[in-house]
Amino acid sequence: MIFLAAVASTQAALFVMTRHSERQTELLGQVYLDGLSAAVLPYARTGDAAAIEDALRRALSFHEGIIERQVGFVDSRETVITLARDETGTPQPLPGAITAQPAGVLRRDDGSVWFWRSLQIGDRSYGKVAAHLDASGFQGDREWLRWLLFFADLVFSGLCAIAGFFMMRRIQQPVTIIAQRLYQAALGTPKPIEAASMPDENSSRMMFHAFNAMVHASRERESMLAHMAEQQRKADLGQLAAVIAHEVRNPLAGMRTAISTLRRFGDQAPTRDETLGFLDRGVDALGQVVDATLASYRPQADWRPLTRRDFDDLRLLVEADSRARKVTLLFDVALPESLPVPALEVRQVLLNLLLNAMRATPQGGRVGLSARIGQASLLLAVSDTGEGIPPSLARVYEQGPDGLEGPGLGIGIVIRLVERLSGRIGIDASPQTGTTVTLTLPLGSEERQS
């Protein structure tokens, strides 16, 4: 690019110089014709051809400056007198333009130039004088100057290119270092630039300091994220422990009642067998609850369908609490013996809802559970005659938990289990009629749970 700019500027300068040289050559030719006209005019006025030829010969004998190749005279009758220098040989015929035009300049390819002009005094013309001058020396000088400037441009451009290369390399060196460190940062942990690699220029040093500040900020952010992740892990473990404690504690009251029944009526075989079967299923249910709660860390418990016996177990689990609170427990289950929905999740949801309803119902109240088959779905409803849950808690049931803790832990479990079952929750609550929680669970959930 530098070379092209230099050559273009030089060629423009040469063009101007060439035009100026051509004008100077034309001016020199006109000066020569002035002298030739002064020597020939007196004889042209008298028509003395011999004197005119002698004057032309004398003009050819002096060539200290410009060299004439040929001179000539054309009178008014177009009679031509022409002479050439001895070394040029026989005179060449005059160009046709000389006889056709009163004055002019004609350039030849060999560098020579023809000049001619009319010999005129007032309105009378006595003929034309012409001179063939050798200007090849001027053309040679121009060509020599052209090549000299070309090679000078070439050398100058080469030096500028070399200087520009090292200058750009010096300028790009800080950027190259930054790019290498960014690439290394993309492959691993970013590292700050050492003080020994810092450049001297203030602008580049500012860029390096900014990169080091970015590296330190990145390290602090990673450290903070690691700390937050550790805190979140501990919080998750605490939440997990709370959920397990909550879900394990709920069936304990019913199992405690079963143990009390076994102590009192253990000598009766039917009662003993029924109570032991209930305890056996309760222990299995507790194990499945723990396994399901740990689903984020281990595979889920084995899937099994919901049966009517699960509803019998739910009644046994909450009967002790209903008697202690003097609340009437009503179950209305109109279902076939087995349903294709996960038994463990449905048991957990209903147990939480029933225990919450017990706690919200005053003495003498009622808590009910109804179960029906809808259109490709299982319809469950848990109702109580309490004062009705607050609207904010109803929205939590319907929209999902948001950082629930403490007393809201059971609500969060219910919502997450219903979402896992692809079901829906509906709430109808008022201080006069109490609260009814409606669950709609799709049938045929075995494939989704496995």
pLDDT digits (tens, 9 = 90+) for 35-89: 888 888 888 888 888 888 888 888 877 766 567 788 889 887 878 888 787 655 6
CB proximity list for 159: less than 8 A, separation 6 or greater: none
Range of weakest confidence among 44-53, 157-166, 246-255:
246-255
| Residue 15 counted as domain residue | yes
Query: Same domain, yes or no, for 127 and 220?
Result: no
Does residue 174 lie within any of the structural domains?
A: no
Is residue 250 a part of any domain in this protein? no
Q: At what angle do helices 343-360 and 308-325 cross, to 10 degrees?
A: 20
Average pLDDT estimate for 4-12: 69
**Residue 363 within a domain:** yes
Residues 430, 310 within the same domain: yes
- DSSP E strands, 122-254: 124-134
The answer to whether position 342 is within a domain reads: yes
Q: Do 220 and 91 belong to one domain?
A: no
Of the residues 187, 205, 230, the one at which a domain ends: 230
Task: Determine contact, residues 136/112, Cβ cutoff 8 Å.
Answer: yes
Q: Residue 385 — pLDDT band, cuts 50, 70, 90?
A: very high
pLDDT at 21: 74
47 occurs within a structural domain: yes
Judge whether 180 lies within some domain.
Answer: no
Predicted pLDDT at 297: 44
Question: What is the per-residue pLDDT for 413?
Answer: 76
In the prediction, which pLDDT does 341 show? 93
- The total of structural domains in the chain comes to 3
Q: Among 143, 167, 183, where does a domain finish?
A: 143
pLDDT in tens, 266-289: 778 888 778 777 777 777 766 666
Tell which residue, 316, 322, 333, 318, has the closest CA to residue 279: 316
Tokens of 284: 């299995």
- Phi/psi at 51 (5° precision): -70, -35
Residue 58 is assigned to a structural domain of this protein: yes
**Which residue in this structure is represented by tokens 């040989």?**
89
333 confidence band (pLDDT: 50, 70, 90):
very high
Encode pLDDT of 357-382 as tens digits: 998 899 999 999 999 998 889 999 99
Is the pLDDT at 96 greater than 80, yes or no?
Answer: yes
Residues 162 and 158: their CA atoms lie apart, in Å, by 6
Do 439 and 361 share a structural domain?
Answer: yes
The pLDDT value given to residue 337: 92
Q: Give the residue from 230, 249, 273 where a domain finishes.
A: 230
Mean per-residue pLDDT for 310-336? 91
Q: Is the pLDDT of residue 436 over 70?
A: yes
- Is the pLDDT at 330 greater than 90? The verdict is yes
263, pLDDT greater than 50: yes
Residues 309 and 444 in one domain: yes
Instruction: Find the angle CA(233)-CA(239)-CA(243) to the nearest 5 degrees.
Output: 145
Residue with tokens 């020396």: 137
Output 190-199 pairs: Cβ under 8 A, ≥24 positions apart.
190/214, 190/215, 190/218, 190/219, 191/215, 192/216, 199/173, 199/174
167-179 residue pLDDT tens? 887 777 778 887 8
Q: Do 61 and 125 belong together in one domain? A: yes
Q: What is the mean pLDDT of residues 316-332?
A: 90
Please report, for the domain that includes residue 60, its CATH number. Answer: 3.30.450.20
Question: Nearest 5 degrees, angle CA 315-CA 320-CA 324?
Answer: 135
Residue 299 pLDDT class (50, 70, 90 cuts): very low
Rounded average pLDDT over 207-220 = 82
Cβ of 84: how many Cβ atoms within 10 Å? 17
Same domain, yes or no: 210 and 309: no
Give the range of the structural domain holding residue 354, as residue numbers without chain letter: 303-450
- 315 and 449 part of one domain: yes
